[in-house]
Chains A and B, each alone.
Chain A
Amino acid sequence: MTSSAEGRWLGGKLSRRALVRRMVLGVAAPVVGGLLAACAGGQATPTAAPQPTPTAAPAQQPTPTAAAAVTPAAAGTPTATPVVLKGTKLNILFGTFFVPETQDLMKQQLQEFGKETGVEATIDFINWPDLQPKISAAVQAGAGPDIVGMWDTWPSLYKEALVDVQDIVEKRIKGEGDYFDWVKKTVLVGDQWLSIPIGAPTSAQVFRKSALQQAGWPDPTNPPDTWEDLFKVGVEMKKNGMPLGQAFGHSTGDPPSFCYAFMWAYGAMEVEADGKTVAFNKPQFVEGMKLFLSYWKQAFDETGLSWDDATNNRAFLAGQIGWTFNGSSIYIAALKQAPDIAEDIIHHIFPKGPAGRFNNLGSWSVGILKYSKNIAGAKAFLEWWTAPEQFRKWLEIQKGYQVAPTAYYLNDPYYRSDPKLVPYVEAAKYGRNKGYAGLGNEKAAEVFARYIVVDTFARAIQSGNAEEAIQWGASELQKIYGA
Chain B
Amino acid sequence: MTTAPAGTVRQVMSFRLRDRVRHWLDSEPVLAYLFMSPGWLILLLFMSYPFFLGIWISLTDRTVGLPSGEFVGLRNYTELFRDRTFHLTVINTFIYGFVTVPFKLFLGLLLALLLNQAFPMRNVLRAALLLPWIVPTALSSLAWLMLYDAVLSPFSWLLKNWGLIESNIAFLGTRTNAIISLCIANIWRGTPFFAVAILAGLQAVPQELHEAAAIEGANRVQRFFAVTLPVIKGIVVITTLFSIIWTFADFQLVYVLTKGGPANSTHIFGTYAWQIGIGGAGKLGIGAAISLYMFPVLAVLSAILLRYVRSQEA
Judge whether A314 and B64 touch: CB under 8 Å: no
Q: Report the stretch among A136-144, A222-230, A268-276 that lies at the interface.
A: A136-144
Number of interface residues of A (CB under 8 A): 54
Give min CB distance, B166 to chain A, whole Å.
Answer: 10
Q: Which residues of A contact B (CB under 8 A)?
A: 3-4, 32, 35-36, 38-39, 41-43, 129, 132-133, 135-137, 139-140, 142, 157-162, 248-252, 301-308, 311, 314-315, 318, 320, 442, 445-446, 448-451, 455, 458-459, 462
Return the contact of B37 from the options A42, A160, A162, A248 (Cβ within 8 A): A42
Q: Knowing A35-B4, A305-B170, A455-B264 are in contact, say whether A3-B203 is a contact too (CB < 8 A).
A: yes
On whether the beta carbons of A161 and B65 are closer than 8 Å, the reply is yes
Interface residues of B in 109-141 (CB under 8 A from A): none
Tell me the minimal C-beta distance from B258 to chain A in angstroms.
7
A35 / chain B contacts, CB cutoff of 8 Å: 1, 3-4, 38
Contacts of A303 in B (CB 8 A): 150, 167-170, 173
**Residues of chain B from 198 to 218 with CB closer than 8 A to chain A in the complex:** 203-204
Chain B residues with Cβ under 8 A from A157's Cβ? 63-65, 282
**Minimal Cβ-Cβ distance residue in A for B166:** A241
Query: Can you report 6 residue pairs joining A to B where beta carbons are below 8 Å apart?
Result: A35-B3, A42-B37, A139-B64, A157-B65, A302-B167, A449-B276
CB pair B2 A36 closer than 8 Å: yes
Given contacts A4-B203, A42-B42, A314-B149, are A306 and B170 in contact (CB under 8 A)? yes
- Residue B41 CB within 8 A of the other chain: yes
Contact status A458-B280, CB under 8 Å: no
Closest 3 pairs (CB-CB, A-B) = A449-B280, A250-B261, A306-B172
- Main secondary structure, interface of B, reads loop
Give the interface residue-count category, chain B: 35 or more
Once A157-B64, A157-B282 are accepted as A-B contacts, the answer to whether A302 and B170 lie under 8 Å apart by CB is yes
Q: Is the CB of A445 within 8 A of B281?
A: yes
Please measure, in the bound complex, the distance between the C-alpha atom of A323 and the C-alpha atom of B306, giving whole angstroms.
58
A250/B260 in contact, CB under 8 A: yes
The answer, among B2, B38, B282, for a CB contact under 8 Å with A446, is B282
Q: How far, in whole Å, are A303 and B156 apart by their CA atoms in the complex?
A: 11
A140: B residues at CB distance < 8 A: 64, 67, 284
Inter-chain CA distance A403–B45, complex, in Å, is 47
- Which residues of the partner chain A approach B2 to less than 8 Å between Cβ atoms? 36
Not counting A306-B178, A445-B280, A446-B283, a sample of 5 additional A-B residue pairs whose C-beta atoms are within 8 angstroms of each other reads A42-B37, A42-B41, A43-B41, A140-B67, A303-B168
Is A132 within 8 A of B280, CB to CB? yes
Specify which of B42, B150, B283 is in contact with A311 (CB 8 Å cutoff): B150
* B170→A142 contact, CB < 8 A: no
CA distance A26 to B274 in the complex (A): 46
CA of A462 to CA of B279 in the docked complex: distance in angstroms? Answer: 25
With CB as the reference atom, state the residue of chain A lying closest to B66.
A160
A249: which of B42, B67, B151, B258 is its contact (CB, 8 Å)?
Answer: B258
CB distance from B176 to the nearest CB of A (A): 10
Q: How far is the CA of A139 from the CA of B68 in the complex (A)?
A: 11
